[in-house]
Structures are given as C-alpha cells and as structure tokens.
Structure 1
Amino acid sequence: MGEVKHILLAKFKDGISEEKIDDLIKGYANLVNKIESMKSFLWGKDVSIENLHQGFTHVFESSFETTEGIATYISHPAHAEFANEFLAHLDKVIVIDYKPTAVHP
C-alpha cells in the first residue's frame, strides 16, 4: 500500500526559549518509541531563500504504514498528552497527511 506521511508546519509563540523548543522537539521525537504505528520522525528548521514560509519556522515529518496508523497515533494517550503541551506553545500550525507518489517519466 505504501507509506503515509504526516507533516506538521509550526511557528512557535514569541518568547518561547530555544531550550523549551528543544525539549518539545525531544518529546515529539520520543513518540516514535511510544506509539507503534509511528514508524519514523524527522524535523528541521526553515532554510528557504524564497521567503514563502508565511512565518512557519519548523517542519516535522512522521511516517506511518497506513492512514489507519495515523488515526491510531492521533488517538493514542501519549500523543494526546504531548499534543496538549506542544500546541499550547504554537502560534501557527498546519498539518497535512499524504501518500508520496513517485513520478515516472
């Protein structure tokens, strides 16, 4: 069936310390150890030179085997607990789930 990607774009609230952001990212990354359906986690900061980021500063990418796996992740108590804290520190957020498709010439 192929994997499903869960992408979260975030802008942290002004005044949140880098230390707190680092702690939140570590907590997010640790979900992969707590939620079986979450297969991988990557993150990074915006480095675009196009200035089209609309204020979003961080990108988080999780991989799942199915959309049902994302549903399991979202309803998992470890995710619910983390999301309450994480979202409280965000000014803006966008979440997109998609199935990657390769282009064949």
Structure 2
Amino acid sequence: MEEAKGVVKHLVIAKFKDGTQPSQIEQLIKGYADLVNHIEPMKAFHWGTDVSIENLHQGFTHVFESTFESKEGVAEYVAHPVHVEFANLILPALEKFIVIDFSPTAVHF
C-alpha cells in the first residue's frame, strides 16, 4: 500500500438500514458535518447520495468525504472522543459501510 503524503481524503460509503427514518438520517448527517467544528485536523466535510445511472452502487446510498492535512490528522480524528461518540450514534443505523483513505493525485498529461 502506498504511503499517504499531504492531504488525505477520508471516504465513508454507506447504506442506512431499511426503516431508518429520513429525519433520523438528516440528524445523523448534521451531526457528521458538525464534527468539523470540534476536531481540528478535520478541514472539510462533504456528502451526497448516489445519483449514478450505472446502477453499480451495490446498495450503498450515501457518500461522506472528510479532508485532512495528513495521515496523522486522520488518526487523531479516529481516536477523538467527539468522533467516537458520533460513531456510536451512526453505526447502529448503518446496514453496511466501507471506509477508504487516500491522498489525491493530480493527473498530468
């Protein structure tokens, strides 16, 4: 695996459990977005739902992207008590999820 250098994107791709109320999902997303106000290494947060026409989502519906200045920042975020508390709220509402951290690489032609 390649060593992360510089900015790191932390992606969470998720599917909420059937029956999870839209209002609960909305509150969880607001809570996720609020982490950026409490965890210093977390520099940005974006999210969205699947809009692909290819139908290759394998049931995943939501994508959450957080930006960190370094791999160490991600580690600090993962261990931060505010993140741990939030994870204890969102994880029971998820049927499945995947987490990927990567350092974006520009393509030069």
TM-score, structure 2 normalization: 0.95
- Which residue of the other structure, out of 84, 92, 98, is the alignment partner of 2:96? 92
Q: How many residues align?
A: 105
Q: Secondary structure at the match of 2:82?
A: helix
Identical positions, percent: 66
Letter in 2 for 1:4: V
- Which residue of the other structure, out of 32, 37, 45, is the alignment partner of 2:36? 32
Q: How does 1:24-103 map to 2 (within 5 A)?
A: 24-103=28-107
Letter in 1 for 2:81: P
Supply the distance in 1 between the matched residues of 2:48 and 2:87 (Cα, whole angstroms): 18
Correspondence for 2:16: 12
The runs of 4+ residues in structure 1 deviating greater than 4 Å are none
Structure 2 portions without partners, runs of 5+: none
1:46 offset after TM fit, Å? 0.2
TM-score, structure 1 normalization: 0.98
1:2 offset after TM fit, Å? 2.7
Structure 1 portions without partners, runs of 5+: none
1:94 offset after TM fit, Å? 0.3
Q: Output the aligned Cα RMSD.
A: 0.6
Letter in 2 for 1:72: E
